Structure 1
């Protein structure tokens, strides 16, 4: 069975919820059992959420590269490319964060 803490959204797998939430300390009564559909949604989303997290790990380095290229300013075409990289990396960072927030709100997290 899969349980979710109503206080901090911690996911617990076991026959019953823990006596106290290992994350926030809430009582077992704060937990609710997830339906089979909710469990499938959580399990299905784990792979994609991990990809978003990996993307968020890589994007800061792309921003650094863009900034170095802009500062180097070898020629207009290079600078244009690095400025575009900077803009796209910022957009993708914000988009991935928003997507993960949406997943949490829709129960696609755990």
Structure 2
């Protein structure tokens, strides 16, 4: 398992983000409180911060309706995930990974 630190934040590549999503999915059922999981959780939080703005801009350009409402709700939920630490490290790891995957799509940064 590769736990090497990748560039964080805006400098992180889509590939690095996808690797961290996969790593989170691996660590979540096995070692959700370990050092590697803590690092992945932090990086996922950085990705959420960095992707929320671009995702929000693209969402504003969407026509009104249910898909746009869902997308806006996803961004709100994502911001909540980084502002509240949560008490279950396993759940936080899993939720952040899922939200990063969605934000990558909304921000137009799919691999």
Name the TM-score, length of structure 1 as normaliser.
0.40
Name the TM-score, length of structure 2 as normaliser.
0.40
The structure with the largest helix share of the pair is 2
Higher RCO (CA-CA < 8 Å; seq separation 6+):
2
